[in-house]
Amino acid sequence: MLPIIEVSDLIKEFSRPDVRPGRFEATRSLFTRARKVTRAVDGISFGIDEGELIGFLGPNGAGKSTTIKMLTGILVPTSGTITVAGRVPWRDRRSNARAIGAVFGQRTQLWYDLPLRDSFEIIRDLYSMDSATYSARLGEFIELLDLNEFIDTPVRSLSLGQRMRGDLVAAMLYAPRILYLDEPTVGLDVVAKGKIREFVAKINAGRSTTVILTTHDTDDVERLCRRVVIIDHGKILYEGDIETLKAQFVSTRDIVVHCSDVDAATISSPFAQVISADRFKATLRFAPATTAAPKVIHDLTSRYPITDLTLLEPNLEDVIRQLYSQRTQAAAP
């Protein structure tokens, strides 16, 4: 089966007048053809299967939003190819728009002065939805996202979390096959984040909606995504599942042990380094590349009266930071 989204050798460049320092350079630039070209996306290729929920990650200025805008048909590539559900987005913008939904964290597609319900009804009419389908789908989304308390409130009076929930409904009412989420939980409290994560997980699992999530919140990624595409300076640094990413870039792991009958500060192991300890608890660090976790655990439990032991999972944010660091070091002269 072919991927629902295919990107091949994608390049996007932006050009602007080349204005140099100097008293009259700004005026001179009006009469010269000298341009400065910036390559925001630099020859990336990847595919996304139908029903996948992937994280599209990178620091600010990495090229994430530019790529999403090309996928939605807002921007035209400088070169390379994109197909989305068999369409070229910027050539078939009308049919592409019916196949996709999009939520951008700092922008809204809702009508500012209208109640939330009226915005949904306008979207119903724009996409020619029949009344029965619209009512059933809206009822389901109201329940999933707890919209009852504010569905008749004007959008201008909604909190950020309430508006984001409304934007999610607006993006999914007409049942698009693909959903683009650009920072959907930025600035939200833990309750609103939880509601949005639950909604995204359910539409992905229940409707096989393909979801592309761009975010700086690694908690969103770890809770929702199995696979990630990491981009920096317009190039893909990593594409694959999260567990492989962690295994590839995690150089150390930590074990926390608790004791009752012995001072935990006396604990040691030939296979791990004690990085902190007090009377009741010790934290040890080991290198998984040379020593397997079961070996460290067996050594500790065979020699000490351990009452509790926790093998800490690698932090995805730290792993991605290390990946960026390695890339920067490799690019340095």
Q: Which of 47-61, 182-196, 223-237 has the lowest mean pLDDT?
A: 182-196
Same domain, 189 and 138: yes
Considering the domain architecture, whether residues 84 and 232 belong to the same structural domain is answered as yes
And the tokens for 4?
């629902």
Residue 200 has pLDDT above 90, yes or no: yes
pLDDT given at position 16: 76
Average pLDDT over residues 304-315: 88
In a domain, 327, yes or no: no
- For the chain, percent of residues with pLDDT exceeding 90: 60
Sheet of 210-214: strand order equals 100-104, 178-182, 210-214, 53-57, 227-232, 235-241
The reply to whether 156 and 181 lie within a common domain is yes
- If one counts every other C-beta atom within 10 angstroms of the C-beta of residue 91, the result is 10
Highest mean pLDDT pick, 10-19, 58-67, 134-143: 134-143
Task: Measure the CA–CA gap between 213 and 223, rounded to whole angstroms.
Answer: 12
Q: The domain containing residue 186 runs over which residues?
A: 5-246
Tell me the three state secondary structure of residue 97: helix
Domain of 148, CATH number, reads 3.40.50.300
Average pLDDT over residues 220-231: 92
Tokens 């683009």 -> residue: 180
Q: Name the least confident of 16-20, 252-256, 327-331.
A: 327-331
Question: Do 201 and 105 lie in a common domain?
Answer: yes
CB 237 within 8 A of CB 231: yes
**Would you say residue 323 lies in a domain?**
no
CB 254 within 8 A of CB 281: no
pLDDT at 315: 81
Q: Is the pTM value of this prediction over 0.85?
A: no
Q: What pLDDT does residue 332 have?
A: 54
Q: How far apart are CA 175 and CA 203, in angstroms?
A: 10
Residue 69 lies in a domain: yes
In this structure, are 156 and 275 located in the same domain? no
DSSP 8-class letter at 304: S
